[in-house]
Every structure is written in C-alpha cells, then in structure tokens.
Structure 1
Amino acid sequence: MLTVLLFLLVILPLTRQYPMLEGGDVGCAHDGQDVDIGDLLMVGCDNCTCTPGKIVCPTPPTCPRDCLYKETIYKDGDKFTSSKTCDKCVCRDGTVTCSPKDCRGSCTVNGKHYEKGESFKIDCETCICLGRDVIKCNKHFCPCLIANQIVEHGDEITDANDPRGTLVYICDDGRQTIKEDNRLGGPVVLVRAGIEDILEE
C-alpha cells in the first residue's frame, strides 16, 4: 500500500513534467509542457518540430543567440580578443570559439591587447605596439583647462578673478599647479623642480 501511495505522490507528477521516453510514440517536453509528435513549437524565435523523443530546429538558427564569455555579453558574429590571453575569439550562436595565439608578438597595456604595429591612445599620446610588450609613444602632453581657458603644457596663466589678488597657474601634462599665490594674506607657493616652498607673508 505504501509503495502505491509513493508512486502516486512522487513518480506520477514527474511523468507529467518530464515525460518518460518509451517506444516510438513518444512526444517532447519543452518548458514544462508536453508536445505531441509533429506539433510546431517556438524555441527562441525559431519554429521547431517535435519528432519522436526530440525537438528539431532549423540549422543554422534563424535568430542566433548571444554569447556570455567571462561576464561579458557578445552578439552573434562578434570577434574579440580574450582579456586573459591573446586568443582570438568569435561568438557563433551562443558558443564562443577561441584560436590560441602567442602573446609574445603583441603588447598588453592597461589590460587590453594590441597586435604588433597596432596604434592606440594613452591619455593625449598616440602609441604603437612594437611587440613583446614594448610600446613607443609620441611625447604629446595634454593641455589644461584653467579659468575657462585652454592652456598648453608648460604654459602659465594668471587668474585675477579673486578680489584679494592673483593666482599664477602652470599646466603640467593635463594637471594644473599653482605656481604663485599673490592673494593678500595668502601663502606664496613656489614650485621649483617639483618641490614646493611655502612662504608666509
């Protein structure tokens, strides 16, 4: 009696959700639903058919799936370089396939891979990969925006907007530094070779 009760409570509900495949008349199960042989059903955006014991979909799929690779989603057909290696990868209908590649002929800068001869930007400089993690960059310094004016690297500008006096700024590769503080009651800052001297008036 206990065996019959166990069958009715446990085994029978499982056969409704996951039909047992027996004989040639077996249909399909999809998303918890029973599907009869010959019936059409949607899987993604593809029209698929239930055949004995399996669902048959068009090949290739009419709406290829995206790929999830190392916590990044790629569209079908996207080509990319693995962030951990130099392997060249491609997304094809939900599957990522990578071709091993030797990193020695490339450069890795800030976690990104560049092929030998490929150029890229670092701040205001244009750099080129020479291979084996050797890069060459042009010595182009970034300008500064000081008092609503663009100031080139190494140039100074005086800001006279403070009623207590003037401030003299110098642009150092995109960063502004106060060279002189001529405000009444304020300190005088002298910047020489990266050393700041503060004099009280």
Structure 2
Amino acid sequence: MARSYWDINLEEMIGVGVHFGHGTRKWIPRMAPYISGKRKGIHITNLTRTACSLSETCDLVFDAASRGKHFLIVGTKDKAVDSVASATIRARCHYVNKKWLGDNRNQTIFSTIRNSEELRGGAIEQLEKARARLRKLEIEAENYKNESIHFEQQRARNKVRQRVFQQALQGALETLNSYLNNELHLRTISANIGMLGTMKI
C-alpha cells in the first residue's frame, strides 16, 4: 500500500469549526504555540499548525494500519457521535461514542482489576513459596545422598575391618592351637619318659 497525499483543506476545516478552541478561562499555557488568537471568550486554534500535525497523524495511522495494527476511535460529544460511528464502521475499527457515567459499573470494573492484581500477587507469592520448598527438598535430597554415600563408605570400611579382624583372630587361634598341641605333645613325651624311668628292667 503506497502512501498518498493527504488532502487537508483549511477552508473545509474552518467551515466545520475546527478553529474553535476552548474558553479562554480553561486554557493551558503550554498550548500557546497552537493558539492564534481569541474571539468572544474562545481561543482560536492555529489551523496551519493543526494541518501539519494532522498530516503527521495521518502518516502515523497509515504506517500502523500497514502493519496490521488495530484502532479504537473515541468521540463522545453530541456532534461527533454519528460521525465517529459511521467513519469507524467504514474503516472496520472499534469505537466508543457514548459517555460512560461513573456508577457502580466503574466500581465493579475497578474491583475486578484490583482483585485480579491481588490474585496475581498471591499467585506469585505461592510460586515463590513453592520454589523455596523445592529448593529445600533439593538440598535435603543432596544431604541424604551425601549421607547415604558416607554410610556406604563407612559400611565398606567396617566390612574391611571385620574381615581383617577375623583373619587376625583366625591366625591367632591357629597359632594358639599349634602352641597348645606342641605343649601337649611335650607333656606327653615327658610323661612317657617319666614312666620309662620308673620301670624296672
């Protein structure tokens, strides 16, 4: 879609009263560059600057529409209601052309938003707590794993010690048994010698 020249006609703008601004009592000092004068208590808008800003706005809207962006057109003044509706329907845009008076609906919407924020905050808090619990479980699992490894290592060492002790004990018993056998053998020999000595030939 090629950008086209925007047909902005100052006479038409004057004809529909675009140059009429707000009352002089309601003006804002920073709007002075956009005001060309005043008439009967009403500021007269500088249409030259208005036309330039309108052209820039048309360029901005054109670029946004080219990228598939959506628009919401708002105009709630009595004279703008029908124009807003017909223009936005032709452009297939969303629009608001009726004033929304402050009532219980506003409070309901604000309450819903506030509740949503509170729910979101509560969900985030619960998520943080869940993460903390998960981290605690991970630490406990790591500690249990380390304790299990330490226990297995200790049990292996105990088995080695037990095996060495059994081997040592078995060796000691064998040595003692051998000593006792030798002692018994010597005593038997001594007894036999003594018996032979007392025998008469």
By percentage of residues, which structure has more helix? Answer: 2
Higher relative contact order (CA 8 A, sep 6+): 2
Give the TM-score taking structure 2 as reference length: 0.20
- Larger relative strand fraction: 1
